[in-house]
Amino acid sequence: MPRPTIVYSGTDEEKRAKALEDCKSYLGEEGFDRILTAFRTEGKDYTVDQLCFQLAMFVGIEGFPARVFAEYSKEIV
């Protein structure tokens, strides 16, 4: 069965907020915080693309939400 397609519409800030909210609901609050902490500490030397790859491989978050999550983790380092 193919995965459902999620469409992000609205302004850029609305899209980013929705993508982060989707990541948080998928991972749960604790999982979201755990991965964010890992990206802040151990992931600070990785590029955004490398962090996106890790999200895809280890937790199943791909595409736009993964990129937003990775960029968000870099913004608050």
In a domain, residue 6? The reply is: no
Instruction: Quote the crossing angle between the two packed helices 12-41 and 63-75, to the nearest 10°.
Output: 60
Q: Which two tokens stand for residue 3?
A: 């995965």
The total of structural domains in the chain comes to 1
DSSP 46: S
The pLDDT value given to residue 35: 94
In a domain, residue 17? The reply is: yes
In a domain, residue 31? The reply is: yes
What's the pLDDT band for 8 if we cut at 50, 70, 90? confident
What's the pLDDT band for 4 if we cut at 50, 70, 90? low
Range of the structural domain that residue 55 is part of: 12-75
In a domain, residue 3? The reply is: no
Total count of residues recorded for the chain = 77
What's the pLDDT band for 54 if we cut at 50, 70, 90? very high
In a domain, residue 29? The reply is: yes
Q: What is the mean pLDDT of the chain?
A: 88
